[in-house]
Structure 1
Amino acid sequence: MQRTSDINVVETRVLPAPETLFAELPKTESQSDFITRVRGDIHRVIFTEDKRFLLVIGPCSIHDLEAGRDYARRLAALAAEVSDRILIVMRVYFEKPRTTVGWKGLIMDPQLDGSHDIETGLRTARAFLREVLDLGLPTATELLDPITPQYIADLICWSAVGARTTESQTHRQMASGLSMPLGFKNGTDGTLGAAINAIKAASQPQTFMGVSVDGRASAIVTRGNPNCHIVLRGGSAGPNYSPEHIAETEAVLTKAGLLPSILVDCSHANSAKKPELQPDVMRAVVEQVTAGSTSIIGAMVESNLAAGSQPFPQPKSDLRYGVSITDGCIDWATTEQLVRDTYAALAPRFS
């Protein structure tokens, strides 16, 4: 009999069930309490009950655990200083979408050598998230593979669905069952329709196929996620964070019967993919907030220990410490100054 399946499959590696990793790397009671509190804080920011500015900031992706720990320690100290006006959440991104091919993130290739040891990647991601939480620092990530949340979502305070996957029914269904607040980015062309539809779909009950905590294929039934909002990241037509763009987004959200809560991504098309321009975008966004905008709930910034990015693949021994191997970032000194400037600028909002 001729084979009609798995013709192009070279190998199938069985992964441990999510509950196995939960047992090996459990969240503590203090971590659980912290995550619950932060998710509630972000909910109140989304629904404008909390006037603090939500700042999702950190490396484009985590590839060097020691550099990630170094960054997290610095950010935790800074976050504590500004916590009365800014709610800082660290980008802890383990999955990266690729336009064609390339490194797909720490979960998919933790050794950075093409071995794709996903089992180790999942353990590494879970362990690192616990470390960040123990610093008193909230966690954020983009959830790309729909199976990944079963392994790490209980340790995430805020998550995102990217511009490439906002149109995906699979990701909208996934989002409907997630327990944390979540931002959908506008499409790569800059239009809002896909994100609007995604928020609507994710807020409703859904039934879809997934993986249970014991690793079995299952029908997942959700009640819908009420804590979804839009993330403006610009598009092929240019940036979309100006007062005119914000007003347009407010109107479209309101017409769709959705809460006009907007987070601005200072990277990607909003900074013309020039990381050094992110502070300019951030300042423009904060100016709108201090001028009275109530729909802008926060911003996202790609930041690392050192500025820019470095090409990859290359020998790991040649990689520069604290430099992104995916999108370019601003450095720590610029990050610290930006956060302090934002804190000062927000003072009138809390007077």
Structure 2
Amino acid sequence: MRTTTPLATGDLRITGIRPLDPPAAVLGELPLDEARAGVVREGRRQAADILTGADDDRLLVLVGPCSVHDPAAALDYARRLAAVAAELRDELCIVMRVYFEKPRTTLGWKGLINDPHLDGSHDVSHGLRLARGVLLDVLATGLPAGCEFLEPVSPQYIADTVSWGAIGARTPESQVHRQLASGLSMPVGFKNAMDGDVRPALDGCRAAAGEHTFMGVDGSGSASIVSTAGNPDCHLILRGGRSGPNHGPAPVRSALDALAAAGMPERLVIDASHGNSGKDHLRQAEVVREVAARIAGGERGIAGLMIESFLEPGRQEPGPLATLDYGRSVTDACIGWPETDALLHELAAAVRGGRSR
């Protein structure tokens, strides 16, 4: 009797599959204690209040490295930032950018979770633990942390430690990311699209506010059907685009009008980097100072600012950690610490000036 072998049609381009430890195992190894959980909860509450206008007397500032590649340098930065955050807490709610996942236009280093050794070995299991450890260390300084969420599975490993989240400019129209945001426990900002269009981000906020049912994983790593209640704390981030910057008074007013027409709070965040700075890290400070002057003059609707900042200015090419300059970004160029410190104090002064009006 003649037998036939079924034709192979699946996984033809897959070169390897490795098991990943379930989220519950990683959380058990690196637990969130009550003191750190308190920092997370308070950071979420303050950010949500500022973004909805319940607290319209302070400014949310999301500041830190474009991406974390060196846990020691990230903690060094966090300790410096925590001291400033405590000093300026009456004017600013400071959340540290602690980004581990980097979307790439084509190819490149995808972040600490994907490639923690910066050598193409893609030790994701180690990267997840390393990322969670960094977040716990940042929380221990008293600073709340913010992350961009790219992979739909990674939040199961770190989201309980995060006070603010972002959906990047490449994915505001993604159904996967809208569903993800609908179930996250913190305020989530949607960035305008790469071309500068704000409509995909506005639609993303509205979609994420609704209930969703989709496929995902649970704490044991099992494939599951996930249902969400919707996230009411989604908001718009203006980051400029190919069409140019959009942090000026006219684009901001237009975006606020669009938010009002959509029935959303007339509050938004301005990203001083990316399209608003023309990808020039030196221009970031000019953008921050322009916006600060308007806040001091009484302009309403700007709830927050995002700044890419690290210990040293500029950027360098990724490579083995021992070969890199300490505290300098390996992705987008950042402003250095002294300028960051000065800008934060100027923003606090602007908030005080706005109050007087």
Counterpart Cα distance in 2 of 1:327 and 1:32 = 30
> What TM-score do the two structures reach when normalised by structure 1?
0.98
Counterpart Cα distance in 1 of 2:100 and 2:306 = 17
CA deviation profile, 1:127-151 (whole Å, cap 9, x unmatched): 1100000100010010000111111
How far the C-alpha of 1:78 sits from its partner, in A, is: 0.9
How far the C-alpha of 1:350 sits from its partner, in A, is: 4.0
2:163 is equivalent to residue 157 of structure 1: yes
Counterpart Cα distance in 2 of 1:103 and 1:224 = 32
SS at match of 2:335: coil
Q: Is the 8 A contact 2:297 2:353 kept in 1?
A: no
| Letter matched to residue 106 of structure 2 | T
Describe how 1:115-154 pairs up with structure 2 within 5 A.
115-154=121-160
Q: Is the 8 A contact 1:190 1:234 kept in 2?
A: yes
User: What 5-or-longer segments of structure 2 have no aligned partner?
Assistant: 1-5
Match of 1:47 among 34, 48, 52: 52
Aligned counterpart, 2:3: none
Aligned counterpart, 1:21: 26
Q: Is the 8 A contact 2:297 2:354 kept in 1?
A: no
User: What 5-or-longer segments of structure 1 have no aligned partner?
Assistant: none
Counterpart Cα distance in 2 of 1:350 and 1:19 = 46
Q: Is the 8 A contact 2:190 2:237 kept in 1?
A: yes
Q: Is the 8 A contact 1:85 1:350 kept in 2?
A: no
Counterpart Cα distance in 2 of 1:32 and 1:71 = 21
Aligned counterpart, 1:257: 263
Aligned counterpart, 2:345: 340
| Letter matched to residue 332 of structure 1 | W
2:326 is equivalent to residue 325 of structure 1: no
Counterpart Cα distance in 2 of 1:336 and 1:33 = 26
Counterpart Cα distance in 1 of 2:231 and 2:350 = 33
> What TM-score do the two structures reach when normalised by structure 2?
0.96
Q: Is the 8 A contact 2:298 2:355 kept in 1?
A: no
Q: Is the 8 A contact 2:187 2:234 kept in 1?
A: yes
How far the C-alpha of 1:349 sits from its partner, in A, is: 3.4
Q: How many residues align?
A: 350
Counterpart Cα distance in 2 of 1:87 and 1:316 = 32
Counterpart Cα distance in 2 of 1:75 and 1:333 = 11
CA deviation profile, 1:30-77 (whole Å, cap 9, x unmatched): 111221111111111011121211000000000011111111111111
SS at match of 2:307: strand
Q: Is the 8 A contact 2:39 2:143 kept in 1?
A: no
Match of 2:277 among 247, 271, 275: 271
Cα RMSD, aligned residues only: 1.0
Compared with structure 1, are the counterparts of its residues 244 and 339 closer, same or farther at alpha carbon in structure 2 (3 Å cutoff)? Answer: same
SS at match of 1:230: strand
SS at match of 2:50: helix
SS at match of 1:209: strand
Counterpart Cα distance in 1 of 2:232 and 2:91 = 24
Compared with structure 1, are the counterparts of its residues 289 and 30 closer, same or farther at alpha carbon in structure 2 (3 Å cutoff)? Answer: same
Describe how 1:168-317 pairs up with structure 2 within 5 A.
168-312=174-318, 314-317=319-322
| Letter matched to residue 47 of structure 1 | T
Q: Is the 8 A contact 1:139 1:158 kept in 2?
A: yes
2:119 is equivalent to residue 113 of structure 1: yes
Greater Cα radius of gyration, structure 1 or 2:
2
